């Protein structure tokens, strides 16, 4: 068997630490694949995503319907623990799918709703008017998605609801700061 010579990792030294730099062999493999006229998996994935994107609006409407049903349950039964969990699940799904499906402001508003639900320990204390504002805003954004200037109005709605969210959970925040949903960083 022929033995292939592999590159060894390098080490970059700093005053207080070392960084191991692993060789990047991916580029060579990609070039080898291109030379063999094999299809590019990234191009195939982008093409598939383009084909699916026509269905994103319909999927968002389906996701919204679950949120609407959870809201209707709250109007009928009050903010019970079961209704709260259903509302959180529906809002969390919209938060996760919103940006992926091209509705980033839906994700921001759903995040505001999730934050209030998470930070309010006693379910009946969650204001139903706030729930209605979030659900109505999400409905409007989905409905008006393709309308000119809709994104500006959606961004303003998201900003205003974020201010209300921060007031409800007792956080002082600047409404012009972008929503930061990343986990906290370790102290330095």
Q: What pTM value is reported for the model? A: 0.67
3-state secondary structure of 11: strand
Q: How far apart are CA 106 and CA 139, in angstroms?
A: 9
Q: How far apart are CA 117 and CA 123, in angstroms?
A: 8
For 44-89, the pLDDT digits (tens) are 778 887 788 778 888 899 999 999 999 999 999 999 999 999 999 9
3-state secondary structure of 21: strand
CB–CB of 117/84 below 8 Å? yes
What ranges do the domains of the chain cover? 55-169
Number of helices (H) and strands (E), helices first, in the chain?
Answer: 7, 2
CB burial of residue 115 (10 Å; 0-12, 13-18, 19+): buried
Q: How far apart are CA 61 and CA 65, in angstroms?
A: 6
CATH code for the part of the protein at 55-169: 1.20.120
Confidence band (pLDDT; 50, 70, 90) for 42?
Answer: confident
For 98-157, the pLDDT digits (tens) are 988 889 999 999 999 999 999 988 888 899 999 999 999 999 999 988 888 888 989 999
Q: How far apart are CA 87 and CA 45, in angstroms?
A: 33
Q: In the prediction, which pLDDT does 8 show? A: 82
Q: How far is CA 100 from CA 58, 82, 107, 145, in A?
A: 14, 28, 9, 14
Q: In the prediction, which pLDDT does 177 show? A: 56
Q: What are the structure tokens assigned to 128, written together?
A: 């139903």
Q: Spell out a b/e string for 127-158, using b for 16 or more CB atoms within 10 Å of the CB, else e.
A: eeebbebbbebbbbbbeebeeeeeeeebeebb
pLDDT at 1 over 50: no
Backbone phi, then psi, for 12, in 5-degree steps?
A: -105, 125
pLDDT at 186 over 50: no
């Amino acid at each position: 068997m022929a033995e292939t010579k592999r590159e060894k990792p390098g080490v970059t030294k700093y005053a207080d630490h070392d960084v191991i730099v692993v060789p990047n062999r991916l580029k060579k493999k990609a070039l080898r694949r291109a030379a063999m006229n094999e299809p590019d998996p990234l191009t195939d994935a982008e093409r598939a995503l383009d084909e699916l994107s026509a269905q994103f609006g319909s999927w968002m409407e389906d996701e919204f319907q679950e949120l609407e049903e959870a809201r209707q349950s709250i109007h009928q039964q009050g903010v019970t623990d079961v209704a709260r969990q259903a509302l959180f699940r529906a809002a969390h799904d919209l938060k996760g799918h919103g940006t992926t499906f091209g509705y980033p402001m839906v994700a921001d508003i759903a995040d505001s709703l999730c934050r209030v639900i998470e930070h309010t320990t006693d379910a009946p204390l969650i204001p139903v008017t706030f729930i209605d504002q979030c659900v109505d805003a999400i409905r409007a954004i989905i409905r008006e998605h393709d309308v000119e200037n809709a994104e500006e109005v959606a961004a303003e709605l998201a900003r205003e609801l974020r201010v209300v969210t921060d007031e409800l959970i007792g956080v002082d925040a600047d409404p012009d700061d972008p929503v930061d949903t990343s986990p906290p960083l370790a102290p330095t």
